[in-house]
Amino acid sequence: MTSIWLQLQGSQEQALQGLIDNMAAEHRTVSFRPHLTVCNVPGDLAPLDAAGAYIKECGLLPLTVAKTAVTGAVITPFRAVFIEVEYSPALREFRERLRDIVGAPPLIPPHISLLYTLDRVSQGHRPDLDAEMLAAIAARCAEAIKDTNFTLARPVVNSTGGAETDVRSWKIVRDF
């Protein structure tokens, strides 16, 4: 699978990366780069040139989004503990326009993940990270995150290399 991401900048990226790394180490899960997934890119990557042109011309970046909550829930292995962000009109416009350009499936609510429920070694889902534990982890993360707004910029294309659940295979394959 291929996705378009927005990454955080400077100290915000460093702070969230540290939190993600610490939570992953403590719970024996995978570490990953902090990001907001704009949309997935199904199949053909030819529309990425048009997506890049839109990103350069739209004038919407960087986007500042407000944190609305830090949530822990059993949704998917990739949405277990995450920062919910306000779906501002600018963020909605940016995501919807890119979705149209690349022919992406329907969008999920915007968020910045902090913990995936994937085992560090096997990369398989960890059912022991249940709703109660995820809620407790989310509460700890909420206490640790002092920022109320996040600045998103640095759009990139991330590829899973065909192994979506093997986070070790994820690579940034293009900068916009």
pLDDT in tens, 20-76: 999 999 999 999 999 999 999 987 889 999 999 999 999 999 999 999 999 999 889
- The tokens for 53 are 């042109």
User: Phi and psi for 7 in degrees, rounded to 5?
Assistant: -105, 155
Do residues 33 and 7 touch, judged by C-beta distance below 8 A? yes
Domain 2-175 is in which class?
Answer: alpha beta
Q: 156: which strand partners?
A: 5, 175
pLDDT for the residue 169: 86
pLDDT in tens, 112-159: 999 999 999 999 999 999 999 999 999 999 999 999 999 999 999 999
Number of other residues whose CB lies within 10 A of the CB of residue 168: 12
- The tokens for 108 are 């999920």
pLDDT for the residue 147: 97
User: Phi and psi for 97 in degrees, rounded to 5?
Assistant: -65, -45
Q: How confident is the model at residue 164 (pLDDT cuts 50, 70, 90)?
A: low
Name 59's Cβ contacts closer than 8 Å, sequence gap at least 6.
Answer: none
Per-domain residue ranges of the chain: 2-175
